[in-house]
Amino acid sequence: MLIMLFNTAVYMENAVISASRMISVVVPSKTRCFSIRNVKLILLLVSITSVLNSLLYYQDSCWIFFNSTTLLLDISNTYCGQILSFYGDFVFGVTIFTASFIMDIISIVSLRKMRKKVANTISVNMNKQRYHKELLMTVQVFINTTLCYIMLCSYHIFSDWLEVSPLMTFLTTNFLWCFVLASGGFTAIMLNNEIRRILIYPLGISLKKVFLTKDQAEEGGFTKPMTSFHMNGARAGFIRSANDPNHFCPITA
């Protein structure tokens, strides 16, 4: 039951991420509680809980399998199966995502207050960068929580109302479920520049041409663009000197 294990892990990790965002925004001084050691312990707890939950579906009266005819996951029509379907999936999911949603709202409200304070601080640029980073990460978690809410309601409620064709039932249940479970990664890539940079430039280096401005060229005597690169997110390169063809000047931009 790997899919149920993965499903439980996604539910719990979404709540953990919401909690980390809220702590980072509301009480930044407490972010040390998410040290590498503590994060490993949290991941271990999530993994153990997910495994134990998936083992419940190995009971003879609580089986679940993919029906290739209807393209749906069929749960045993027994008391145990109905309990797991309603309480183990729907109620558990709603509880987790409600807690995540509340923490996301607290983070968003705190970010609005932070935005008003940015203009009144001395280190404006530093605070703007922190605000922008926290905003993107909070939006990412909020989107994931909202999508999970929609998925749960669609799977357990809306799919019964929209049961007009097998295709519609499949789209509002299994397809939406798998899409939402995978959407966390897509959201992170779209909203996080650092992740995109790592995926595009896995070695931290990308080749590109750099052109100096007129003032830079006149000041340094460098007129011919040479190969440049990205290193750790900062653009850098080497420009050939017009006065000495054998001399190269490193530049950053």
pLDDT for 225: 46
The percent of residues in the chain predicted with pLDDT above 70, rounded, is 74
Closest C-alpha to 188, from 154, 142, 148: 142
Q: Contact at 8 Å (CB) between 96 and 50?
A: no
Distance, CA of 109 to CA of 134 (rounded, Å)? 12
For the stretch 134-178, pLDDT in tens is: 788 888 888 989 999 899 888 888 877 877 778 888 888 888 988
- Average pLDDT, stretch 182-209? 72
Q: What is the mean pLDDT of the chain?
A: 76
pLDDT for 106: 92
- Average pLDDT, stretch 12-29? 88
For the stretch 206-247, pLDDT in tens is: 444 444 455 555 555 544 444 444 444 444 455 555 555 554
pLDDT for 209: 46
Residue 47 has pLDDT above 60, yes or no: yes
Distance, CA of 83 to CA of 87 (rounded, Å)? 6
- Amino acid code (one letter) for 119: A
pLDDT for 102: 93
- Average pLDDT, stretch 50-69? 81
